[in-house]
Amino acid sequence: MTILADITAQIAALTPVTNPDPDALGYGVDLSCVGDLTEDMRETDPESPEGILEACVRFLTTDRDSIPGAPGRGWNVRRLLNRAYTDPELAAQEGLATQELEQDDRIDRVELALTINRPKREIKIRFRIFPKSLALQPFDAIATVTDGEAIAELVRK
């Protein structure tokens, strides 16, 4: 036997301590980062402005069809960093991003503006989100997206 075969045999002989059902762990599968968690490590309320904003950023930073449970969703804004756009072309891209977000059943309407800073290789997304829920007021947010990260925050007035 080789060392690799020995290790493989030893791993196969291990008894799992637990084999949890992922649906029974008490948290969602729609988490993208620590921003999806509250200070006491609970999942952000998906019906809150924070939860809606996190979903918006996720859909705008993920390639189409790559989000489990959301076929046909995703519109990766990072691809805009790879070519120059005229103002009318960028406005068309804003329209496509808006259409992506308005597929969310929690959102009635979105006003969105994209600003590209080529030297910094970053995109700013300014949102005005109008939730369908009458319990929520429209809210503003800004997301900054680079090749490696996306940071979003609600604009507090």
pTM listed for this prediction: 0.72
Residue-wise pLDDT tens digits, 80-118: 888 888 888 888 999 999 999 999 999 999 999 999 888
SS3 7: helix
Q: Cα-flanking dihedrals φ and ψ of residue 15, to 5°?
A: -95, 125
Tell the residue number behind the tokens 């998906």, with chain if given: 46
What is the average pLDDT value for the chain, to the nearest integer? 82
Tell me the average pLDDT across 9-18: 74
Among candidate residues 72, 75, 41, the one with its CA nearest the CA of residue 59: 75
Residue 60 has pLDDT above 80, yes or no: yes
Q: Cα-flanking dihedrals φ and ψ of residue 141, to 5°?
A: -155, 160
Among candidate residues 97, 121, 94, the one with its CA nearest the CA of residue 107: 97
Say if strands 122-131 and 107-117 run parallel, antiparallel, or are unpaired: antiparallel
CATH number for region 30-154: 3.10.450.40
- How high is the pLDDT of residue 28? 44
